[in-house]
A and B are shown apart, each in its own frame.
Chain A
Amino acid sequence: MTLSLARPAGYTLVRAGRASFLVHRRATAVALALTLLLAAACLTYLCAAQSYVAPSEALKVVLGQPSPDELTVGTFRLPRMTVGLLVGAAFGVAGALIQTVSRNPLASPDIIGVTQGASALTVGALTFGVTSYAYLPYLSVAGGLLAAALVYVFAWRGGLHATRFVLIGIGFAVALRSVTNLFMTKGDYLVAQQAKVWMTGSLADRGWDEAVPVTWALLLLTPFVCWAARAQRTVSMDDDTATALGIRLGRVRLGLALLGVVLASIATGAAGPVDFVALLAPQLARRMTRTAQIPLLSSALTGAVIVVVADLLGRKLFEPTQLPVGVLTAAVGAPYLIWLIIRGRTGGKA
C-alpha cells in the first residue's frame, strides 16, 4: 500500500515493456462520455439538420453504402458537420493551449485578437479582389500569427504579465474588428455581404472542398498536439522551479502558444470567428475532468460538441430562418465571459 501512495492519485499505470503511461481515470471516462455525446450529436445532425432522414439511412451514407439520401446527407450535411466538428475541436484545443500558457481563463484566441487578426486579413483579401478561396486558410493563419505577434510585442515589458497581455489583446481585438468593418464598407457590396456572414462565424454552404483541407491541416498538427498534452504539465510551474527540473520553459511556452494560434487561425479560416468556443470549451472540460491541467482531448471534444449542437440549433430553432453558428455560441459564451470578468480573477491561473 505504501508504494501506491507515491503515484499521483487518480491515475492508473499502464505498462508495456519499458514503456509506462499514467492515465488519468476521470479524464479518460470524461473523454469517453464526450465521444459518445459527440457521436449522438453528429447522428442527430445528419438526421435532423433540415428535412428528417432515418438514422439507418444516415449511417449507410457515412459508411459509404448506397442510399436514397446520399445527396442530402453525403453532399450537404456530412461535410458541413465535419467542418463544424473540426473547427470546434481546433478552437477547443487552441483555447486550452493559450489559457494554459497565459495562466488566465480569459485569454482565449477569440478574446485576445487572434481570430480577429485572422478575420481582418481574410476579409481584406476577400473585399479587395482575392477570389480564390484556396488562399483563405493561409491568409487567416498569417493574420492570426501577425495579430498574436503584435499583442506579444505590445504587452512585453521585460516580462509578460497575464492581465496586461489580456487587456492589450482585447484592445487589439476591438481595433482589428474595426479594420475588418472598414474593409467591408470599402469593398464591393456583394462580397461585403458575404464577408459579413463569414464574420459571425458560419458553416453555411461548407462542402468537401472546405472540409478536406481543414482535415489535413489538423491531422498534420496532431503530433504537435500530442506533444503539447505532455508539455503542458510543466507550464503551470514557476520559471525557476521548471528550470531546476530541466525544462526550457520559454521554448515550451512559445511552442504551445504558436500551436494554439495556428489552430485558432485555421479554424477561423474555415468557418469564421465562431466566438467563445475557445473560451468556453477548455474551462467546461476542465471542470468535468477535475485535472490540474486543462485537458486537451476533452477540450477538443467539448468544442466539437458545442459547434455541432450550436449549428444544429441554429438551423432548427427559428426555421425557416437559419442562424449562423457563431450567433448561438455567442449567446452562451457572452454571459460566461461577463461572469468571468465580474468574478474578477483575470490575474488568476487558468
Chain B
Amino acid sequence: MTETDIETGTGTGRRPARLSARDLTLAYEDRTVVDGLDVDIPDGAVTVIVGPNACGKSTLLRALGRLLKPARGSVLLDGTELARIPTRAIARSLGLLPQSPVAPEAITVADLVSRGRQPHQRWWQQWSDADEHAVTEAMTRTDTAALAERSVDELSGGQRQRVWIAMALAQETDLLLLDEPTTYLDISHQVEVLDLCRRLNHERGRTVVAVLHDLNQAARYADHLIAMKSGRIVAQGAPSDIVTADLVRDVFGLESVVVPDPVTGSPLVVAGRPWGAGD
C-alpha cells in the first residue's frame, strides 16, 4: 500500500490529473444530486468513491464517464471538456462498466469481450492483430479464456462480472471506471474482482475509479478514497489518513471503532461502540 502511495502520490503539486471535474452540478430533472463539485482523479492510482445510499457517488461516476450530462460545470479529460470530445475518441481513453450491463441474448463470452474493441474498429477493419491481442489478454487476465465459447446467459454472477470486466479491459483504455462492480457477488467473488482491479493498476499502471458500497473493501483496495455525503465530498486522501471514527459518524451516521486490518494494515471499520463507553 504505502509503496504505491509514494509512487503515485495523490495528485498534489504534479501535472494536472487526466480526469477531473470543475464546478460540477448534476441533476435528474429537477432534483439536484451533486452541486458545484470539484474533483481530480489521481493518475495511475485506484480511486474508490464511498458514501451512503443516494449520496451521488454513482451519479458522479456516470458524469465522469459521460453517461450523464452536467447541468452545470464540466468534466475534463486531458484538459478538454468531455462534451467537446467525440464519444468514440473518449472510448479510446476511458472505459466504463455500468452498474447492471445487459448482454445481448445468447451472446458468447468471446463475442461479448470482443465488443470492447468497438471504438478501435472500422467497418473495414473488423478484426486486427491488435484486437486479437487485446481480447486474448483481457480474457487471460480475468481468467475467462476457458469460458470463451460459453453463452453469457448460462454463467454464474461472478463469472459474468469477470466477463464484463474483460470487455472493459479489451477496450485498452488508460482510465477505467467501475460502478459498484461487486454488487450481487458473494464474498469470494467480490474479493476476486477487487484483486483484479488492484492487479490492473499495479501491473499495467491503469487509473481505476470504482464506486463501492463496502467501506472496508474501499479502505483496503483504494490508494485514494473519496467520501461523499449529500452530493459533496466530505473527505479525500489515502484511506489510512482519512478513515476515522469521526469520518464514519459524519458520513454514514454510524458509531464505530476503527482498527488496523489484520491482513493489510489498512483501516478496518467495526460498527458499534465498546460496551460501557458513552452512556
CB < 8 Å: which of A20, A234, A245 contacts B126?
A20
In angstroms, Cα B123 to Cα A97, docked, is 18
Contact in complex: A243, B104 (CB < 8 Å): no
Contact in complex: B105, A236 (CB < 8 Å): yes
Is A161 an interface position by the 8 A CB rule? Answer: no
Please, which residue of chain B has its CB at the minimum distance from the CB of A227?
A: B123
In angstroms, Cα B126 to Cα A234, docked, is 14
Question: Considering the complex, which residues of chain B in the window 116-165 have a beta carbon less than 8 Å from any beta carbon of chain A?
Answer: 116, 118-119, 123-128, 131-132, 135-136, 139, 145, 148-149
Q: Given A237-B115, A238-B102: A245 and B91 within 8 A (CB)?
A: yes
Contact in complex: A238, B67 (CB < 8 Å): no
Please, which residue of chain A has its CB at the minimum distance from the CB of B90?
A: A246
Is A13 an interface position by the 8 A CB rule? Answer: yes
In angstroms, how far is the closest chain A Cβ from the Cβ of B4? 26
Contact in complex: A244, B96 (CB < 8 Å): yes
Q: Please, which residues of chain A bring their CB within 8 A of the CB of B277?
A: none
Please, which residue of chain B has its CB at the minimum distance from the CB of A18?
A: B125
Question: Considering the complex, which residues of chain B in the window 33-87 have a beta carbon less than 8 Å from any beta carbon of chain A?
Answer: 62, 65-67, 86-87
Is B95 an interface position by the 8 A CB rule? Answer: yes
Is B189 an interface position by the 8 A CB rule? Answer: no
In angstroms, how far is the closest chain B Cβ from the Cβ of A283? 13
Q: Please, which residues of chain B bring their CB within 8 A of the CB of A6?
A: 110, 113-114, 131-132, 135-136, 139, 148
Question: Considering the complex, which residues of chain A in the window 1-55 have a beta carbon less than 8 Å from any beta carbon of chain B?
Answer: 2-3, 5-9, 13, 18-22
CB < 8 Å: which of B101, B128, B149 contacts A20?
B128
Q: Given A237-B115, A240-B98, A292-B104: A245 and B171 within 8 A (CB)?
A: yes
Question: Considering the complex, which residues of chain B in the window 188-212 have a beta carbon less than 8 Å from any beta carbon of chain A?
Answer: none
Contact in complex: B91, A246 (CB < 8 Å): yes
CB < 8 Å: which of B67, B99, B107, B171 contacts A243?
B67
Contact in complex: B136, A349 (CB < 8 Å): no
Is A247 an interface position by the 8 A CB rule? Answer: yes
Q: Given A8-B110, A21-B124: A244 and B97 within 8 A (CB)?
A: yes
Contact in complex: B91, A5 (CB < 8 Å): no
In angstroms, Cα B65 to Cα A19, docked, is 31
CB < 8 Å: which of B108, B131, B171 contacts A9?
B108
Choose among A2, A241, A247 the residue with the greatest number of B CB atoms under 10 Å from its CB. Answer: A241
Is B106 an interface position by the 8 A CB rule? Answer: yes
Interface of A is mostly: mixed
In angstroms, Cα B170 to Cα A37, docked, is 41
CB < 8 Å: which of A3, A227, A234 contacts B132?
A3
Q: Please, which residues of chain A bring their CB within 8 A of the CB of B273?
A: none
Choose among B89, B98, B116, B119 the residue with the greatest number of A CB atoms under 10 Å from its CB. Answer: B98
Is B22 an interface position by the 8 A CB rule? Answer: no
In angstroms, how far is the closest chain B Cβ from the Cβ of A141? 27
Q: Please, which residues of chain A bring their CB within 8 A of the CB of B101?
A: 237-238, 240-241
Q: Please, which residues of chain B bring their CB within 8 A of the CB of A186?
A: none
In angstroms, how far is the closest chain A Cβ from the Cβ of B69? 11
In angstroms, Cα B174 to Cα A115, docked, is 49
Contact in complex: A5, B125 (CB < 8 Å): no
Per-position 1/0 for A224-260, Cβ under 8 A of B: 0001001001101110110111111000000000000
Interface of B is mostly: mixed
Contact in complex: B65, A13 (CB < 8 Å): no
Contact in complex: A13, B136 (CB < 8 Å): no
Query: How large, as a class, is the contact surface on chain B?
Result: 35 or more
CB < 8 Å: which of A5, A20, A244, A349 contacts B95?
A244
Contact in complex: B127, A22 (CB < 8 Å): yes
In angstroms, Cα B113 to Cα A5, docked, is 11
Contact in complex: B89, A9 (CB < 8 Å): no
Is B246 an interface position by the 8 A CB rule? Answer: no
In angstroms, Cα B107 to Cα A13, docked, is 19
Is B255 an interface position by the 8 A CB rule? Answer: no
Is B92 an interface position by the 8 A CB rule? Answer: yes
Contact in complex: A292, B111 (CB < 8 Å): yes
Contact in complex: B118, A7 (CB < 8 Å): no
Is B249 an interface position by the 8 A CB rule? Answer: no
Contact in complex: B102, A7 (CB < 8 Å): no
Contact in complex: B149, A9 (CB < 8 Å): yes
In angstroms, how far is the closest chain A Cβ from the Cβ of B182? 18
Contact in complex: B110, A9 (CB < 8 Å): yes
Choose among A22, A243, A247, A349 the residue with the greatest number of B CB atoms under 10 Å from its CB. Answer: A243
Contact in complex: B145, A246 (CB < 8 Å): no
Contact in complex: A245, B118 (CB < 8 Å): yes
In angstroms, Cα B130 to Cα A20, docked, is 12
Q: Please, which residues of chain B bring their CB within 8 A of the CB of A238?
A: 98, 101-102
In angstroms, Cα B102 to Cα A241, docked, is 8
Contact in complex: B125, A245 (CB < 8 Å): no
Please, which residue of chain A has its CB at the minimum distance from the CB of B140?
A: A2
Contact in complex: A243, B127 (CB < 8 Å): no
Q: Given A5-B148, A240-B98, A292-B106: A20 and B114 within 8 A (CB)?
A: no
In angstroms, how far is the closest chain A Cβ from the Cβ of B278? 45
In angstroms, Cα B148 to Cα A67, docked, is 58
Contact in complex: A241, B98 (CB < 8 Å): yes
In angstroms, how far is the closest chain A Cβ from the Cβ of B23? 23
In angstroms, Cα B86 to Cα A248, docked, is 10
Can you report 11 A-B residue pairs in the complex whose CB atoms are below 8 A from each other?
A: A2-B136, A6-B131, A6-B132, A7-B110, A9-B111, A237-B104, A238-B101, A240-B62, A244-B67, A246-B91, A246-B92
Additional A-B contacts beyond A233-B115, A244-B95, A245-B119 (9; CB < 8 A): A3-B136, A9-B148, A20-B127, A22-B126, A227-B123, A240-B96, A241-B98, A244-B96, A246-B91
Please give me the 10 A-B residue pairs with the lowest Cβ-Cβ distance, nearest first. A246-B91, A236-B104, A240-B98, A246-B88, A6-B135, A244-B96, A8-B111, A238-B102, A246-B119, A6-B136
